[in-house]
């Protein structure tokens, strides 16, 4: 995991001073190293590194013998397969990112669909060729600002020079950009699915396939030359990830590290403790108070780069969790994405009982600007990499192909019954069938934050801001003010996705 910045200019040479400032703004994303390079007459690439794979040889920008250079943020889990498929291609490092560089050099940006993982990249050649691209789901962030003949790219909004902040936009997932072709889509977030594939198949067969898909993904996401832990909330999704990872570590003579957070006595903290005890992990906890939650709000909002109230509520406990985990590991697995794949939220069933598949696809496609943005920013603020095995391309393809009936509520109203049955025996029944609580609720954060603003933001302020700024609650207005202080010129309509309700 890293931070990247880049410039492409056709009117002059790149602005090296601006590039240096962009890299400094991203230092938290890559505390281990930083470097940059001018490529040809028109491009500049910068990189801050958190060393996860090929600790000694993976420094970026990576450069090929023909002068092509690349900076990449993220992880490419099938890089060994890509290397094997390219046969005669020459590799100078063991870095997973070099597989992306090799594809660009041998087949061009249309070949990027072969990469499996979470990544955003910029690459340039001495002859003026330039490519920027982002993974199909947008797990890793990438923004850009186009002004005249200059184009800037960066991993976070805060990195852009003040003079172009008002032009910054979110770079579209599953797309690449070149100066010649513009924006070109190379992959979709969710592949076309044919639920008829599963018609007439016994539920037990589908459950086995779901289990195998997730087990394979978790094991693949443990790829690293450093230790990888798990964020464990005690809910179904993170507990399943922890169970698979714990088994994998045990096979290799290691003990998995797990991390939980909450207010004293909160539901998530207690459930995570029980799951860790059952799995035999080395478990660590962070307990936060109301005072501490309020004290970090400005930092959290500025880091998440959003003012959506639901996002900030869940980001606050994640802040303390990331701070804790970063003292022990460099990377963690999370349970993000399971609810969007297997219909874990109650509104899916209350409002979309018909048309469920379409709503699941819609929310998956918006994740890059919501939960994935929160997950990336809060962890990277502490130099920690977060990986999301539920959002592996093969897991997404499998889950979205399952008929909607497999994602319907159980007779007692329990959600995700199919996923729970797929892992019968992996967890105690009381954890396997624990009812869903959103992270901001289960950790105790919502009870601390939502009421806090009732008497602190005047009614008149909200009434004036609701129409002018589109904020919906006093809490959201408070976060908007922090957002605006951190990013005074950024246009929220160009860079933010928001939950349907605050």
Structure tokens at 339: 């609810």
Return the pLDDT at 51: 79
CATH superfamily ID and name for 195-453: HUPs (3.40.50.620)
Strand partners, 133: 121, 176
C-alpha span between 410 and 75 (Å, rounded): 37
In this prediction, residue 502 has a pLDDT band, given cuts at 50, 70 and 90, of: low
Domain ranges for the chain, please list them.
Answer: 2-185, 195-453
C-alpha span between 365 and 136 (Å, rounded): 9
Q: Which of 240, 219, 239, 238 is nearest to 228 (CA)?
A: 219
Q: Residue 95 contacts by C-beta under 8 Å, 6 or more apart in sequence?
A: 53, 54, 57, 58, 60, 62, 79
The CATH number of the domain covering residues in 2-185 = 3.60.20.10
Lowest mean pLDDT among 49-53, 84-88, 215-219: 49-53
Structure tokens at 263: 């207010």
**Catalytic annotation on 2?**
yes
How do residues 5-41 score in pLDDT, each as one tens digit? 999 999 889 999 999 999 999 999 998 889 999 999 9
Mean pLDDT of the chain: 93
Cα torsion 89, 93, 95, 101: sign: negative
Mean pLDDT on 164-174:
97
Catalytic residue among 2, 122, 175, 375: 2
Return the pLDDT at 444: 65
Q: Is the pTM of this model over 0.85?
A: yes
**How far from 197 is each of 201, 216, 419, CA to CA, in Å?**
8, 21, 18
Lowest mean pLDDT among 49-53, 73-77, 401-405: 49-53
How do residues 433-468 score in pLDDT, each as one tens digit? 998 765 555 566 777 887 898 889 999 999 988 877
């Amino acid at each position: 995991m890293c931070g990247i910045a880049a410039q492409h200019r056709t009117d002059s040479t790149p602005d090296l001073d601006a590039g240096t400032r962009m890299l400094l703004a991203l230092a938290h994303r890559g505390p281990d190293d930083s470097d940059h390079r001018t490529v040809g007459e028109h491009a500049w690439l910068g990189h801050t590194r958190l060393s996860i794979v090929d600790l000694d040889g993976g420094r970026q920008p990576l450069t090929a013998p023909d002068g092509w250079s690349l900076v990449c943020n993220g992880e490419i889990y099938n890089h060994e397969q890509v290397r094997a498929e390219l046969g005669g291609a020459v590799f100078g490092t063991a870095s997973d990112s070099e597989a992306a560089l090799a594809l660009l050099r041998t087949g061009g940006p249309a070949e990027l669909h072969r990469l499996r993982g979470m990544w955003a990249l910029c690459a340039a050649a001495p002859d003026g060729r330039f490519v920027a691209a982002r993974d199909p789901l947008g797990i890793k962030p990438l923004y850009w600002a186009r002004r005249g003949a200059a184009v800037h790219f960066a991993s976070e909004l805060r990195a852009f020079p003040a003079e172009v902040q008002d032009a910054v936009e979110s770079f579209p997932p599953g797309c690449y950009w070149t100066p010649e072709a513009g924006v070109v889509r190379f992959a979709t977030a969710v592949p076309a699915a044919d639920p008829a594939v599963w018609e007439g198949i016994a539920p037990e067969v589908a459950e086995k396939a779901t289990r195998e898909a997730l087990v394979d993904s978790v094991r693949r996401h443990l790829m690293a030359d450093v230790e990888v832990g798990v964020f464990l909330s005690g809910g179904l999704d993170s507990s399943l990830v922890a169970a698979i990872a714990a088994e994998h570590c045990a096979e290799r003579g290691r003990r998995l590290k797990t991390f939980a957070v909450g207010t004293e006595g909160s539901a998530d903290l207690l459930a995570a403790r029980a799951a860790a005890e059952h799995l035999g992990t080395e478990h660590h906890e962070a307990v936060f108070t109301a005072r501490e939650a309020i004290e970090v709000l400005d930092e959290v909002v500025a880091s998440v780069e959003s003012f959506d109230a639901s996002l900030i509520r869940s980001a606050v406990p994640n802040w303390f969790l990331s701070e804790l985990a970063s003292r022990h590991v460099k990377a963690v697995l999370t349970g993000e994405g399971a609810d969007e794949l297997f219909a874990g939220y109650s509104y899916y069933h209350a409002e979309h009982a018909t048309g469920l598949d379409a709503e699941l696809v819609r929310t998956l496609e918006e994740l890059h600007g919501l939960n994935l943005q929160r997950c990336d920013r809060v962890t990277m603020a502490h130099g920690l990499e977060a990986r999301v095995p539920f959002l592996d391309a093969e897991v997404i393809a499998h889950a979205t192909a399952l008929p909607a009936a497999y994602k319907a509520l159980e007779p007692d109203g329990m959600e995700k019954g199919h996923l729970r049955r797929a892992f019968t025996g992996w967890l105690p029944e009381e954890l396997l069938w624990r009812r869903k609580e959103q992270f901001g609720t289960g950790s105790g954060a919502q009870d601390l934050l939502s009421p806090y603003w009732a008497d602190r933001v005047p009614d008149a302020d909200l009434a004036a801001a609701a129409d002018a700024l589109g904020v919906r609650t006093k809490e959201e207005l408070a976060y908007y003010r922090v957002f605006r202080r951190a990013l005074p010129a950024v246009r929220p309509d160009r860079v933010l996705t928001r939950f349907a309700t605050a």
